[in-house]
Amino acid sequence: MNEGLLRYGNVNVPYSVNENDRLRSRIRIHVLPDSNVVVEAPLCSSTAKVQAAVQKRARWIVRQLSETAALREHALPRTYVSGEAHFYLGRRYRLKVAVDNLSPSRVRCMRGAIEVTLPISDPVAVRRRLRNWYAQRAKAYFASRLSLLSSELPWLESPPEFRLLKMNKQWGSCSPSGNMNLNPSLIKAPKHCIDYVLIHELCHLQEHNHSKRFYWLLDRHCSEWQASKASLDNMAELLLNE
C-alpha cells in the first residue's frame, strides 16, 4: 500500500493507495466514515496518474470530508425526546413525542416529523415503539423493492425470502444456502443506497463471494453502486446510532 498527499487550498489530505487487479483503467476514490481517504487503482498505475486522478476530484473529496465531520458531530447517543433528529428513507425528521392517555399508542410520519403518541413520556417506551415502526416499514419496503429488483435479474425466478436482523456494522448478509439478512436500520438510508445493498445481496445468490464475476454482475445491474456505497459509508455512524 502506497501513500500520497492531496493539497487543495489550505487543506492537506493524506490518502492511501491500494492496487486492485479487478480494475482496468478507472481509479476509484473512497472517503471512509473515519475520514480516511482510500484510492483504488489498477495494477502498476503510476504515481503521477493516481495523483492526477485525486487532484481532479479534490473539491469532491474535501466536501465529503466536511460532510463526514458534520455527520459525526450529530452521532450522539439518542435521548428519544421531542426535537431530536431521526431519519427515514434518507430524509431527516424531527421527533415529536405526544402524551395522550386516551388514544392508542402509535407512530406516524407527517409534515417533517415522526410523531410517537403514548400514555406517558417515557424515552424507553418511545425507543421501543420507534424501533418497531422502523422494522414494520423496513419489512414492507424491502419486500417491495426485492420483488421489483428480482424481476430484473435473470438468475432469479422469484424474490428471495429475507429476515430482519439488527447488526452493528453490516447492512446485509447472504449465506451460500441463500439465507438473506437485512438490517432494519437500512430503512433510514436514501432509496438509492437501499437498492445498492439489496442488489449486492441478490448478486450473492449467483456469486457467493466477492469474485471478479460478482463485481461484474454488480457493475451491470447497479452501475452507480460505488457512489451509493460511499454515501452509505459516510452516513453509517449516524444511521446505526441508537
Q: DSSP character for 205?
A: T
| Inter-residue contact 34 to 10 (CB < 8 Å) | no
C-alpha cell at 137: 416499514
Closest by CA to 176, choosing from 214, 232, 222, is 214
Residue 235 contacts by C-beta under 8 Å, 6 or more apart in sequence?
71, 189, 193
133 φ/ψ sector (left φ>0, alpha ψ -120 to 50, else beta): alpha
Residues in the chain, overall count = 242
Mean pLDDT, rounded, of the chain: 89
Residue 72 confidence (pLDDT) = 63
What pLDDT, in 10s, does the model give residues 152-192? 999 998 999 999 999 888 999 988 778 899 999 999 999 99
| Inter-residue contact 32 to 18 (CB < 8 Å) | no
Closest by CA to 27, choosing from 15, 36, 35, 17, is 17
Residue 32 contacts by C-beta under 8 Å, 6 or more apart in sequence?
38, 233
Question: Which pTM does this prediction carry?
Answer: 0.72
Tell me the average pLDDT across 228-237: 85
Residue 238 confidence (pLDDT) = 80
Query: Between helices 191-204 and 225-239, what is the axis angle to 10°?
Result: 110
> 3-state DSSP call for residue 44?
coil
Count of beta carbons in the 10 Å neighbourhood of residue 70: 10
Checking if the pLDDT of 68 tops 80, the result is no
Burial 139-159 (b: 16+ CB within 10 A, else e): bebbeebbeebbeebeeeeeb
Give dist(CA 19, CA 7) in Å, integer. 22
Residue type present at position 223: S
Tell me the average pLDDT across 92-113: 91
Structural domains in the chain, sorted by start:
2-73 (no CATH), 84-240 (3.30.2010.10)
Checking if the pLDDT of 73 tops 60, the result is no
The DSSP bridge pattern shows strands 91-99 and 106-110 to be unpaired
